[in-house]
A and B are shown apart, each in its own frame.
Chain A
Amino acid sequence: MIAVIRRYFSMLAGDPLADRSVPPTGFTANLTVFTSGAMAFLAVFALALGLAAGQLADRWASELARTSTLRISAPADQLDAQVAAAVNLLETTPGVASARALDMAEQQALLEPWFGPDLPIDTLPIPRLIEVVEEGAGYDATGLRARLQAEVPGAILDDHTRWREPLVAAADRLRLLSILSIALIATATAAMITLAANAALAANAQVIKVMRLVGARDIYIAGAFVRRFTIRAFGGSAIGALAGTLAVLLLPSSDVAGGFLTGLSFSGASWFAPASIPLLAAVVAFLATRSAALRTLRALS
């Protein structure tokens, strides 16, 4: 197995004289570098989207899963009593870490984005909200609803399930979309490099003929092309990935703009993730050129 892998990648072992045997062709060189660079640039954004979507899905899944909201609608004279009863009930419920009624200022802040800062909240029949934080395996939602119905008739428990599931599903789809985008980018890169390699092989038919006449094996001839295209793809994609990372760095942050899309960015160690793109491009170029070269050499025999 190791021998097979070693043989497969033996083409990458450098032989400057072999590489010199194949004349550099400007058109294919430029095409490979440009394609790899452009694709790497796009791949950085797909990667950023994937990582951001993944983080968002995880955050939504964990944060929304650990909290619930109890909404209490009752006549004004009963409201405080029902809130107190609900808090008492929640504090004695297994799986509930804490239960806290939001004060009017907090409720005003929640409504402010929709109704503005001048909403006379104390004069409106607005339900009171209780924030419930879970612990351990969480509470038994069915049992809690039954107890609430009996003891606090105006209470409605929202465990966020109906909000969380579509949000997490959307974030997961975004993550899948980014993986698909990276796969498409890799495929397009492979296709372009295959075309460039085929053009280079066709342009060097005479070189191939001469090298065969002096005893060169196919793997040796292919190696000269494979190394060249792998290095070009790596170089081009390194430039593209660097440019893409800088562009992501210059995007407005989510803290400033407050939206998800403008917050497309890396965080922490994920800033090193774009470094994997040139490696991926080099592997794609290696496989594409190797396949194209050996196929063409077979056809030329």
Chain B
Amino acid sequence: MIELDRVAYSYGGAELFSNVSLTLAPGSFQFLTGPSGAGKTTLLKLCYGELVATAGHVRLFGKNVRELQRDDIALSRRNIGVVHQDCQFLDHLSVAENVALPLTVAGRADEASEYLEDLLSWVGLRNQAGQRPPELSGGERQRAALARAVIISPDVIIADEPTGNIDWEMSQRLLKLLVELNRMGKTILLATHDLNLIRQASKMQVQARVLRLMNQRLHVAGVDL
């Protein structure tokens, strides 16, 4: 689905990482961990086409990102749900409108009414549907971001530190939602520096692979980090 082949990325001449290869196979669950500044967010951005690798190849659903037009990348993103650390909401829209945004921009707004209520109930935000994002707590915002990421039923869900600003209980709840999605067949790539979250996932009987980005390289690690 998403494939990184000997990818490198540099910021202003300084190489952040290099020779990174990664394949997000259908139905897989992968954690991406590593120290702050190692380039986890950058690696995720390469995975959904927001950045272009300085070397190597990134393929989204079999297509080389370098050969894709902006609109092709936009269309690819309709098959990749992204949960950002800072959620990235439109604050002038309601929670429900934000969650429905991927369907709206895809010209499928009429489908939102079918899923929206169930989806908001699933993430526990049914009562907050009419509120604006700034009125939500950190955990609620992350769950709303997850709902927005999955409303269009993408094959891949990429989450960047979704538990970074929420308490442990809420982190577990969010992880549980991601595990449920994986059991439905979704491919999950979750970047986190929270090793307890990774250990918790192993307790949920999920077949997760743990990748560690460190010293400019990507390593496969065990769950007993």
- List chain A positions with a Cβ less than 8 A from chain B: 15, 17-18, 20-21, 23, 207, 209-220, 297-298, 301
**Which residues 121-174 of B sit at the A interface, judged by CB distance below 8 A?**
148, 152
Q: Check A217–B74 contact: CB distance below 8 A.
A: yes
**CB of B90 within 8 A of chain A?**
yes
**CB of B196 within 8 A of chain A?**
no
* Chain A neighbourhood of B97, CB < 8 A: 17, 20
A222 CA to B150 CA, complexed, in Å = 25
A56 CA to B77 CA, complexed, in Å = 63
Report the minimum CB–CB distance from B87 to chain A (whole Å): 10
Q: Check B92–A23 contact: CB distance below 8 A.
A: yes
A72 CA to B50 CA, complexed, in Å = 91
- List chain B positions with a Cβ less than 8 A from chain A: 48, 50, 70-71, 74-75, 77-78, 82, 84, 88-90, 92-93, 97, 101-102, 104-107, 109, 148, 152
A210 CA to B89 CA, complexed, in Å = 7
With contact pairs A17-B109, A21-B90, A21-B93 given, residues A214 and B101 touching in the complex (Cβ less than 8 Å): yes
Q: Check A215–B105 contact: CB distance below 8 A.
A: yes
* Chain A neighbourhood of B48, CB < 8 A: 213
The contact of A220 among B90, B105, B152, by CB within 8 Å, is: B105
Q: Check A214–B93 contact: CB distance below 8 A.
A: no
* Chain A neighbourhood of B78, CB < 8 A: 215
Which secondary structure characterizes the binding site on chain A? helix
Q: Check A214–B77 contact: CB distance below 8 A.
A: yes
List, sorted by A's number, 22 A–B pairs whose CB atoms are closer than 8 Å: A15-B104, A15-B107, A17-B97, A17-B109, A20-B93, A20-B97, A21-B93, A21-B105, A23-B90, A211-B101, A211-B105, A213-B88, A214-B102, A214-B105, A214-B148, A215-B74, A215-B105, A215-B152, A216-B105, A217-B70, A217-B75, A301-B70
A301 CA to B89 CA, complexed, in Å = 19
* Chain A neighbourhood of B82, CB < 8 A: 213
Report the minimum CB–CB distance from A215 to chain B (whole Å): 4
> Told that A210-B90, A217-B74 touch, could you supply 12 new A-B pairs with CB distance under 8 A?
A18-B104, A18-B105, A209-B88, A211-B90, A211-B101, A211-B105, A213-B48, A213-B82, A214-B105, A215-B75, A215-B106, A220-B105
Q: Please give me the residue from chain A that is nearest to B94 by CB atom.
A: A20
Q: Which 7 A-B pairs have the closest CB atoms?
A: A216-B105, A215-B78, A215-B77, A23-B92, A214-B102, A217-B71, A17-B104
* Chain B neighbourhood of A17, CB < 8 A: 97, 104, 109
A216 CA to B104 CA, complexed, in Å = 9
Q: Check A210–B88 contact: CB distance below 8 A.
A: yes
